[in-house]
Amino acid sequence: MAYIKVEEGIPGIRSLFKFSPETGKPLCDLAEVLLRGPSPLSSSERELIAAFVSNRNNCMFCMNSHAAAARFLFDEDKQVVDDLLKNQTADSLSPKMKALLWIAGKVQSNGKSVTPEDIENARKEGANDTDIHDTVLIAASFSMFNRYVDGLDSYTPANEEDYLEMGKRMGQKGYHI
């Protein structure tokens, strides 16, 4: 049960958005821009970054929902999501994506831990300024989203199957209240 009075049965951050639409709308708008707006990174790659950061933050709602969206968007290549999140392997990812996830992991733990060498390695693997910018902003924003969801103990469905429809909806329709 959430620490504040939210509508029962509405999972995760959506219950918090419904509780406070004044903050929910701009946060949804931010997620929409980060995960569906213009970027050289695909929406599936950006969802993967969100799920990866949420997994590292142990935010089960955000990890499961964004992993479901990433699986939906990766379609036939959806195994890459589980390989990264469950097995901690990223063999099928491009060297560029691996370098960006390395940066995302550093941002998740402490933004100041990102080094010039990390950025240079990402550039060496083909990342441009926008790739790096978007990765850092997704990692930082999802760390905030994760703390929002977990800090108020919002409802987290237990079964991965509960996230299938949610992932499909997010993958098809994006992030609108």
In-domain check, residue 53: yes
In-domain check, residue 4: no
Per-residue pLDDT in tens (0 to 9) along the chain, 177 residues: 799 999 988 999 999 999 999 999 999 999 999 999 999 999 999 999 999 999 999 999 999 999 999 999 999 999 999 999 988 777 889 999 999 999 999 999 999 999 999 999 999 999 999 999 999 999 999 999 999 999 999 999 988 888 999 999 999 999 986
DSSP state of 113: G
In-domain check, residue 2: no
Instruction: Count CA atoms closer than 13 A to 119's CA, side-chain side.
Output: 14
- Structural domain count of the chain: 1
Which residue's structure tokens are 């083909």?
126
d(CA 104, CA 118): 10
Full-model pTM: 0.96
Rounded to the nearest 5 degrees, what angle is found at the Cα of 176, between the Cα atoms of 174 and 150? Answer: 90
Instruction: Count CA atoms closer than 13 A to 165's CA, side-chain side.
Output: 4
In-domain check, residue 145: yes
Q: Which domain holds residue 23?
A: 12-173
The total number of residues written for the chain in this structure: 177
CB 73 within 8 A of CB 47: yes
